[in-house]
Amino acid sequence: MGTSVGVVEKEFSITLDKTGFTPGDYTFAIQNQGSFPHNLTIEGPGVDSKASPTLGAGESGSLTVALQKGSYELSCSVPGHKDKGMDIKITVG
């Protein structure tokens, strides 16, 4: 489980309730507050495109990953959403 991080997804943004990450296990608790389907996909050191299930409007889900030192990209892999702004970067250090 590790540290819990709240994630709000909507058209077209990803917002985290935490800043400042240190290496360790994290569970991203995702709420889709939009009206389109969204997911959370994480890519970075030791994490090869790990994704939550795609959540319908109003649904919640989670994704647990082990973060190492480095830079991670968090995005939504529903086609087109990343380019529209559902794409953020976090630095773990």
Other Cβ atoms less than 10 A from the Cβ of 7: the count is: 23
d(CA 63, CA 25): 11
Residue closer to Cu ion by CB (options 50, 70) is 50
Residue closer to Cu ion by CB (options 57, 66) is 57
Min dist CB 15 to Cu ion, Å, is 13
End-to-end CA distance of the chain: give it in Å, rounded. 19
Other Cβ atoms less than 10 A from the Cβ of 49: the count is: 11
Residue closer to Cu ion by CB (options 30, 76) is 76
Does residue 14 belong to the site contacting Cu ion (CB under 5 A)? no
**Chain residues in the site for Cu ion (CB under 5 A):** 38, 76, 78, 81, 86
